[in-house]
Chain A
Amino acid sequence: MSEMRIPRGAEVRLGAVDGDLRAESSVRITAEGTVVVSGQARFDGSAEVIGHFECARFRADDGTVVISGDLVVHEDVEARDSTLEIGGALKARRVDVDRKLRVGGAAEAERFEVGGVLEGARTLTAKGVSVGGKFHLAGRLEAESVEAGGSVELADVSIDTLEVGGTVRLGGGEVRRSIEVGGRFRSAGPLKFGSIDVGGLAEFDDSATGGSIEVGGLLTASKDLTFDQLEIGGVGRIGGNGTGQRAEIGGKFDVRGSLTLAHALEVGGSISVREVLSGERLEIGGSLDARRATFSGPVEIGGQVSTQEGLKAARIRLERKSRARGPLVGDTVEIERGAKVEDVYGGVVELEERAEARRIFAAQVRLRESAVADEVTYTQSVEVSADARVRSPPRKVDTLPPFPL
């Protein structure tokens, strides 16, 4: 196959090239219509192409190649120690650029591999995108896998997986399978995802719906958040409603709306829910604050519980020296040693040593040593140990008053 050579620093006008094209450093090519190279186009150093460029294979070494129009490559683009800037659209089979790739128009290839920076002003369509440093795209991204070592800023995505070492900013869209981010993740618009795992901070500025969410540090969702499993190492904050299967929070969790879980909630520190908290099981090391909390299974509280309308569960256990404000309602309610509660409603209510309650309404009531209650109303039995006190005499009734909740 013949080869056309353009010497260093030359300025030429080109149309069709039969065979290969080899351009030395600092050339300037003006396209007559479109430059069409039937073989390989190779640039040894920097070059400028005014117009559209098409070839079978594209190779650049040690420079910056600027193409003002479109670049169509039937096979692969390879740019070693080079930057490639395309003003128009880019279409190729595979694109491999060491330094930087900038595309002004739509970009389409099976795979993009860029060592440094990938910038796109329009859409990008690919099976895989791998960038060592930064990846910024102003248009829609459609791909299977996307990974980057540094930062990623994307407007709208429809992808399967996203794996980024540093930071991610998304306009919104859908990540069908997984998002893995080492540092910080932020989504400005509505987002759907399969799962998300963020080492540092995750921020959802709009509604977000997905499977499992795992965040090492801080999670903030400004609107509603829907998930299967939520695990936060540090602090969680939901500005709207939270809905999911289960949640595990290491530190503090704050929900402005309601939090509705199908299964368990475990909180190492404290949880505050402005509206209604509901689920199957609750285990909390610190404090719970909610307008109302209802659980179909057991609840264990190590610190304090504060509700306006009450806490209801099949079984409630307040650990030693814990505190409860607002009514407690349960089939079984156990108030451990030294704990203090207000009104308690239940089937069986037990106050352990030195526990204190205001009013108790239950079928069966037991007060251990030095336990104190202001009032006890019961239907079946009351057992008051030595040193335990009921300030008003216990009252047996046929029917208890209706329980709250």
Chain B
Amino acid sequence: MLDDREPGRGGPRRREATDLYATVLEVVKRYHGAARITRVSYGAGMPVDRLRTLVERLVALGLLKAEEIDGRPAYDITPRGQEFLSTYWKMRAYIEVLEANPEDRISRRRA
């Protein structure tokens, strides 16, 4: 459920696979080790079956870890997951910097 609007461009930006992975990681991070798949699905705005596939991939990549709590899996972000998020957001920002002139953005806002 991240905001997909690009400032200065107006139109919506199509969510890429990396955006979805980042969304899931950010939501899982909020639950501090106790993220249940259903809760994450509400936070990420994604059906459980689709989310389960993404989560499995994130676990396989070492970006999430799963632990049984009360007989059910609960997820937590790993240091590699944190690193992914940090790089992802920085990269998103650089792409915006490279694609849009900040001077235009400020003058547009002032106008």
Contact = CB atoms under 8 A, between A and B. Distances in A.
Does A associate with B in a complex?
A: yes
B44 interface: yes
Given A165-B27, A165-B30, A217-B89, A151 B2 contact: yes
Contacts of A171: none
Contact of B93 (A130, A216, A237): A216
Contacts of B44: 132-133, 149-150
A133 B31 CA distance: 12
Interface stretch (A4-12, A200-208, A318-326, A345-353): A200-208
Interface in B41-74: 42-45
Contacts of B110: 222
Interface residue tally of chain A, by bracket? 35 or more
B28 to A, nearest CB: 8
Contact of B7 (A98, A99, A100, A203): A203
Contact of A149 (B29, B88, B97, B103): B29
Given A98-B42, A115-B39, A234-B97, A151 B3 contact: yes
A150 B96 CA distance: 19
Interface residues of B, number: 36
Interface SS of chain B: helix
A374 B37 CA distance: 76
Contact of B96 (A98, A199, A201): A201
B1 A216 contact: no
Contact of A222 (B94, B96, B106): B106
Interface string A116-151: 110000000000001111100000000000011111
B42 A115 contact: yes
A148 B1 CA distance: 10
B17 to A, nearest CB: 16
- Residue with the highest number of chain A CB atoms closer than 10 Å, among B45, B102, B103: B102
Given A98-B38, A116-B42, A150 B23 contact: yes
Nearest to B100: A218
A117 B42 CA distance: 8
A301 B59 CA distance: 47
B95 to A, nearest CB: 9
Interface string B6-29: 010000000000000011011111
A165 B105 contact: no
A183 B95 CA distance: 13
- Residue with the highest number of chain B CB atoms closer than 10 Å, among A81, A131, A216: A216
Contacts of A149: 1, 23, 26-30, 43-44
A184 interface: yes
Nearest to A233: B90
Interface of A: 81, 98-100, 115-117, 130-134, 147-151, 165-167, 182-184, 199-201, 203, 205, 216-218, 220, 222, 233-235, 237, 239, 254
Interface of B: 1-3, 7, 22-23, 25-31, 38-40, 42-45, 85-86, 88-90, 92-94, 96-97, 102-103, 105-106, 109-110
22 contacts: A98-B38, A98-B39, A115-B42, A116-B43, A132-B39, A134-B1, A149-B23, A149-B29, A149-B43, A150-B2, A150-B26, A150-B45, A165-B26, A183-B89, A200-B93, A201-B7, A203-B7, A216-B89, A217-B90, A220-B105, A222-B106, A237-B102
